[in-house]
Structure 1
Amino acid sequence: MYGEKLSSLMNYYGAANEEEILTGILKTKEMYLQRDNRRYGDMKDRITLSVKDLQREAMGWFDKSCGDEQERKKPASAW
């Protein structure tokens, strides 16, 4: 589910790879947006906020799926 939602965010914002969506720096739009620093900063903030919300949501899935402390240790390394 995380991968699908991350791919959806990448498509929405036009990110070419995971690095761009996680940092909020889109190489394809960088030159265009740098002319207007405010718009560039706003877009970067929106992207990073969207990714953080997704990560928070995924942690919620993780917490709900784990019962006791021993069960939480198993998928923690995968996360």
Structure 2
Amino acid sequence: MEKQDKTCYESQHIVGNLYREVNGIAPSTTTIKSFAKEVAMQFYDTDMEVNGFKEVAMQFDGFKYRTEYDNKLGNLMDYYGIKTEAEMLSRCIMEMAKSFDKKRDLEAISFSVRSLRKEARAWFNKKKNDSDSSHKDV
């Protein structure tokens, strides 16, 4: 299936037929950077708001954490030349750079993603512990 160093033929089997059908379809290459407030507002349902939600939301740093996570994940994606968040998290990479060493780089990607998840989890756990201790003081 289009290996430059091998002779090829047009397979009449199911895998060959599937390959020819999907060959021209490129995977969606949207990245995290494409998410914008305007896009979010299209799907935002104001009927779901409750009184006092803005005060609670201002106390929680979820937006700050999400932005920091997106930046760190975007930097990792740029470093490894990976186009989508799904490829990064699943380690199922569609297009590999020529310098990409499958075993070594996949292990490094896996380690980087695990570290980022652990770091993000720690942000929320720290925030939770801080809020629990402030409630005990009351």
Determine if the TM-score, normalized by the shorter chain, exceeds 0.5.
Answer: yes
Displacement after TM superposition at 1:18 (Å): 0.6
Residues 1:52 and 2:119 aligned together:
no
1:9-60 alpha-carbon deviations (Å, 9 max, x no partner): 1111010101111122322217x579xxxx3111111101100100000011
Structure 2 unaligned blocks of 5 or more: 1-67
Report what 2:80 is aligned to.
13
Partner amino acid for 1:43?
Answer: D
Q: Give the fraction of aligned pairs with identical amino acids, expressed as a percent.
A: 33
Structure 1 unaligned blocks of 5 or more: 72-79
**Which of structure 1's runs of 4+ aligned residues deviate more than 6 A?**
none
> Cα RMSD (Å) of the superposition?
2.3
User: Residue 15 and residue 6 in structure 1: after superposition, are their counterparts in 2 closer, same or farther (change >3 A)?
Assistant: same
| Larger relative contact order (Cα-Cα within 8 Å, sequence gap ≥ 6) | 1
* Distance in 2 separating the partners of 1:51 and 1:58: 10
The count of residues paired between Structure 1 and Structure 2 equals 64
> Bigger radius of gyration, 1 or 2?
2
